Structure 1
Amino acid sequence: MGKTSNRQVRRIIVSGYYGFNNSGDEAVLKSILNALHAEGEAQGITIEPVVLSADPAWTTRMYGCEAVQRMSPSVLLREIRRCDGLISGGGSLLQDATGWKTIPYYTGVLTLAQMLGKPTFIYSQGVGPVNRGWLFAPIRRVMNKSRYVSVRDAESAALLSRIGVPQERIEVVPDPVMGLPLPEGTQTSAASSASTDALPVIGVSLRHWRKDGVDLERAAAALAALASRRSVRYRFLPFHTPDDTETSQVVIDRLTAIGIGSSIAELAAPGDDPQQMLLEVSRCDMMFGMRLHALIYAANQRVPLIGLSYDPKIDQFLNRLGLTAIGTTEQLDPAQFAASADSLLSDLDGWRSRHGEVIDRLKREAQRPAQQIVALLSQTTKR
């Protein structure tokens, strides 16, 4: 972004789970960068983002912005001293389901910025689950010292309120990815099948969760049950490579062993760019998703969706659309899935009509954190 003599320039660090080849988190980053740039232009401010990344060179190539190593204390200290503020988010950063070290890292980055007198902003985070009580204190401390706090669902807001963050300080907004646009110069019609053989295209996003793999066996049985009712094209979409690629291949092999008649199962390779994955999702007629951002991508593009829950965040997002999960990693009835998916495929336009208004509202509200943060940065005196 170019500088002009009559524009304020604000250098802002963006902290999150970036540079790990996870399409959902990369989509969060892309959405935040887009929104900050758009709001900066609207408010007459040049925003210069600096991303904390596990792979700074890749992040710079992908997004055209400065990126630095997220785990180097000396780099963090240097960059925070140079910045005008720090954004933490979005995604599920403050949770201990994946281990206890996650929360200390992200609260530690926020604490360092606050100790150096830099304003901090929480951008549409999903908070929880937090099963270790000793982690409440650092979360409460950094939240109460942040200039702006936004979370992506009411459950996250309720958890923060229970641990001592005043409710009036918390804004509930959609996930940033609800505002992500398709790649420039592309367009698609969600109302028509992307398949050249006229089979309805069903995007499938699964992840490895249960160690015994029973959840994937259930998912394969459900997909086979639908294929026994009608011919479809299953397009498996790996959101986190290489893990999801391997998981998808396991399920494809299982479907081949079961037999799916004239239906087709294939693995997509949309690459690293989150907008290319969004385009891939937009070309589906329906989405069967376990990954949260697979479901968010689908809603973003008005692609009718069915969710499989492995975490409360799945249920929380579905609830915002007025939906419930078809099953969980502990229970999924193949006949129920097949009947629901068959019914949905027979009334795609009806689904869009029923949920379109909510989706449009979520897309508008997804810009709210960027609007607030840029406005606050414009009031900040450069150090």
Structure 2
Amino acid sequence: MASHENRPIRRVIVSGYYGFRNSGDEAVLKSILNALRSEGEAQGIEIQPVVLSADPAWTTAMYGCEAVPRMSPSVLLRELRRCDGLISGGGSLLQDATGWKTIPYYTGVLAFAQMLGKPTFIYSQGVGPVNRGWLFAPIRRVMKRSRYLSVRDQESAALLGRMGVPTDRIEVVPDPVMGLPLPEGSAASSHKRSSEELPVVGISLRYWRKDGADLERAAEALAVLAKRRAVKLRFLPFHTPDDAEASNVVMERLQAIGLGNSAMELAAPGDDPQQMLLEVSRCDVLFGMRLHALIYAANQRVPMLGLSYDPKIDQFLKRLAITAIGTTESLSAEQFADHAVALLDGPDAWRQNHAEAIDRLKRESQRPAQQIAALLRQMTRR
């Protein structure tokens, strides 16, 4: 391997939903940066990332990399002229469930780079849902012109295929967060507690239904568990302040229903995604609505119960041969409590049953960084 001083430098822009302090998306960024650094070193190049961020100063302070405003065309033009390529991803960037403007933004950034002759790389994206047919064309155009294309599930690959993207060019890989390590110097819980300690059930909820019926059902299910088994319900807000507010709604409802001999609390892990990963590692079971709460649990081999609000939840669980315990439309409180107690009583069996799938996802999560580093190494710098 070349010495650090002599390694060729490749400057790469990273585009995604970054700088909004959403733990899942920040974990994606942290995972991508880690993987690019390690794969660049392995292949004898130094990859210098420049992140498009909603809060560049915060992103730079958090990750120690360059960051620039994501909504400034003049800044993007300047950085594209200086860069060797652009990475788009990961996360659910190409979907219109949250509005029609998202897809034009991310495809526009890609098209701008391609117009300037810069290679583009699609990094483990979740594609869809795309309900507006007119958005197929810009997605198809930038995907076909990208040098490397990876998505995080078969359903995303199939959707791109229906849009007209050649499926033999699409690599299906895990979410990058499967490769995220715990913070340096920390250790996950051994999942063995003294007889005095209550087992911890981590809970990741978010607002979804406007009438709040999904959170009401979650509260009822957690109340049945809390009365059946003494546990500590630890709420983990992945996107602040919204998830903390949703958690407080459920906690207030639980207070009214009653907790038996159980306890509850709201965690405050801060903005660092690795600290949230550490929080999840210390749970005995995780009940998750956020996709990255479930990915964190798989990363740390924590038995999980998923509550589905979007196909991406079911798609991830399917890769572990797991079915969601319920949806935002339907959740049986008794069935939830039955499954939670079974996981609390038999965590080792769960880990053994899913070890092979988890190991495979961890290993394959590095694949996009390996491919991108190899392509960057082969390039002649302009």
The answer to whether the Cα contact below 8 Å between 2:227 and 2:261 also exists between their aligned partners in 1 is no
Worse overlay, 28-37 or 160-169: 160-169
Structure 1 Cα separation of the partners of residues 192 and 273 of structure 2? 22
Structure 2 Cα separation of the partners of residues 344 and 196 of structure 1? 18
Per-residue CA distance 1:214-262 (angstroms, 9 max, x = gap): 1000000000011121110000000000000111011011100000111
Structure 2 Cα separation of the partners of residues 137 and 108 of structure 1? 12
Counterpart residue number, 2:93 = 93
Structure 2 Cα separation of the partners of residues 190 and 134 of structure 1? 51
The answer to whether the Cα contact below 8 Å between 1:300 and 1:359 also exists between their aligned partners in 2 is yes
Structure 1 Cα separation of the partners of residues 261 and 158 of structure 2? 48
The answer to whether residue 137 in structure 2 is matched with residue 137 in structure 1 is: yes
Q: 1:191: how far off?
A: 2.7
Amino acid at match of 2:93: L
The answer to whether residue 177 in structure 2 is matched with residue 167 in structure 1 is: no
Equivalent pairs, count:
381
The answer to whether the Cα contact below 8 Å between 1:190 and 1:301 also exists between their aligned partners in 2 is no
Amino acid at match of 2:241: P
Worse overlay, 134-143 or 336-345: 336-345
Q: Return 5+ residue gaps in structure 2 as ranges.
A: none
The answer to whether residue 73 in structure 2 is matched with residue 40 in structure 1 is: no
The answer to whether residue 327 in structure 2 is matched with residue 316 in structure 1 is: no
Q: 1:357: how far off?
A: 1.1
1:64 to 1:98, Cα distance in 2 relative to 1, 3 A? same
Structure 2 Cα separation of the partners of residues 257 and 365 of structure 1? 45
SS in 1 for 2:52: strand
Q: 1:73: how far off?
A: 0.6
Structure 1 Cα separation of the partners of residues 339 and 242 of structure 2? 28
Amino acid at match of 1:113: A
Q: So what's the TM-score if we normalise by structure 1? A: 0.98
**Within-5 A mapping of 1:1-383:** 4-193=4-193, 197-383=196-382
Structure 1 Cα separation of the partners of residues 67 and 226 of structure 2? 45
SS in 1 for 2:165: coil
Amino acid at match of 2:47: I
The answer to whether the Cα contact below 8 Å between 2:191 and 2:283 also exists between their aligned partners in 1 is no
The answer to whether the Cα contact below 8 Å between 2:308 and 2:326 also exists between their aligned partners in 1 is yes
SS in 2 for 1:234: strand
Worse overlay, 20-29 or 224-233: 224-233
SS in 1 for 2:187: coil
Q: So what's the TM-score if we normalise by structure 2? A: 0.98
Structure 1 Cα separation of the partners of residues 239 and 192 of structure 2? 27
Structure 1 Cα separation of the partners of residues 64 and 242 of structure 2? 27
Q: 1:189: how far off?
A: 3.0
SS in 2 for 1:377: helix
Structure 1 Cα separation of the partners of residues 327 and 339 of structure 2? 15
SS in 1 for 2:197: coil
The answer to whether the Cα contact below 8 Å between 2:90 and 2:124 also exists between their aligned partners in 1 is yes
Amino acid at match of 1:145: R
Structure 1 Cα separation of the partners of residues 68 and 158 of structure 2? 34
1:74 to 1:237, Cα distance in 2 relative to 1, 3 A? same
Per-residue CA distance 1:132-173 (angstroms, 9 max, x = gap): 000000000000000000000000000001110101100000
